[in-house]
Amino acid sequence: MAKRIFNILIVFCIAAVNLFAQSGINVGTPNLSFEQGNFNNWTRELGNFRVLASDYNSYEYYNWTTVTNSGQRIELQSSMNTNDPVFACSNFYTNPIGYSAARVGRPMYSEGMPNGGYSCTQRWNNYRGAAAERLTYTFTVTKQTTLLYFQFAMVLHNPGTATGQHFGQQYPTFGINITITDPVSGLVSKPQCTSIELHPSDDPANEKYLKRYTSQCNNSIAGSDLINFQYLPWTIGAVNLIDFIGQTVTIEIYNHDCLVVCNGYPVAGGHSAYGYFTAETRSLGFNIRNCEGEDAVITAPSGFSKYTWSRSDGLPITYQTAGDSSAIVVDQSTLNPSTLYTCSLATGTDCGE
């Protein structure tokens, strides 16, 4: 799995007596953060995931059906400080502080798997596809939406490798896919780190992405099976859209439960996947306070884990607040219209393959 970091480089110029202002949140992308308390402007779909009978090695999502009532398979999460039902003892909440979120997938449920009493052949003929869910949002990039900032988390039930009944894409899966389409040429772009997909793993090399909770947790709905669940804590991602003004962005959040090999037939199994997502758009720019007779303050967009500043004149950087690198102070005696201030913003987050 390749290791990448979400990283954005922005360069703006400050003149001695000018004032720039950062635009608001979600201007032109209403309800992207589920701030209306519903799924307005989002598309919810329920479907299935299966192996192709033609080669047993290729897989497909199918039977996507748009719904207005997704029940618990796609559900809004708006209560603050609510523990995830599986990892209830991990300080792992269903939405990040200050945001509503959507949960895609239902905890501890694999809707595609039938109750007992079916042979492997019957399951292949009638219950081949694992349950899948998809949530989609589309918007056109404007000057007010040049930064797409998103947060996500996931929980995956690990079937384990001892039985040899799950392989590759048959494991429970949660993913995010962000594409940008030019409406004139039809060209589709995929900037770095806009495709994120994870499966549970017993490979120690992948444990840096997915965590476990190894202590007893009486509040977990998984009970003693909690040890077989893995989760990705709330994680930040960001996409620089400055070069894509006028183009169409599509955000897709999807997941599927497991497939299991039953006497040679890959059929719907009993291990689930679900995850959480929220996002917002902003103008990718500095908020600059520069009043005559005062030191200037330059503030970068909030929400990132690391801010690396530099000045083209080589002078040192002074932070407005000790321990917070998101804002710097420029001494009025050093203000020069020809000086460029550069800030590299990073989430400090691996985004997978």
Q: How far is CA 251 from the centre of its chain?
A: 10
Q: Assess if CATH 3.40.50.800 describes domain 23-282.
A: no
Question: What's the whole-number average pLDDT of the chain?
Answer: 86
Mean pLDDT value of segment 104-108: 96
- Alpha-carbon dihedral angle through residues 182, 187, 192, 195, given to the nearest 10 degrees: 100
pLDDT digits (tens, 9 = 90+) for 41-78: 999 999 999 998 877 788 999 999 999 999 999 999 99
The answer to whether 196 and 210 have CB atoms below 8 angstroms apart is no
SS3 of residue 40 by DSSP: coil
Sign, CA dihedral 90-75-112-235, equals: negative
Token pair 């207005």 is at which residue? 68
Q: Parse the chain into domains and list their residue ranges.
A: 23-282, 294-350
Hey, which of 168-177, 248-257, 286-295 has the most confident mean pLDDT? 248-257
**The predicted structure's pLDDT at residue 244:** 95
**The predicted structure's pLDDT at residue 116:** 76
The answer to whether 24 and 145 have CB atoms below 8 angstroms apart is no
Q: How far apart are CA 238 and CA 145, in angstroms?
A: 12
Hey, which of 16-20, 103-107, 144-148 has the most confident mean pLDDT? 103-107
Across the beta sheet with 324-330, what order do the strands follow?
Answer: 287-289, 296-299, 324-330, 318-321
Picking from 201, 253, 285, the residue whose alpha carbon sits closest to that of residue 22 is 285
Q: How far apart are CA 338 and CA 341, in angstroms?
A: 10
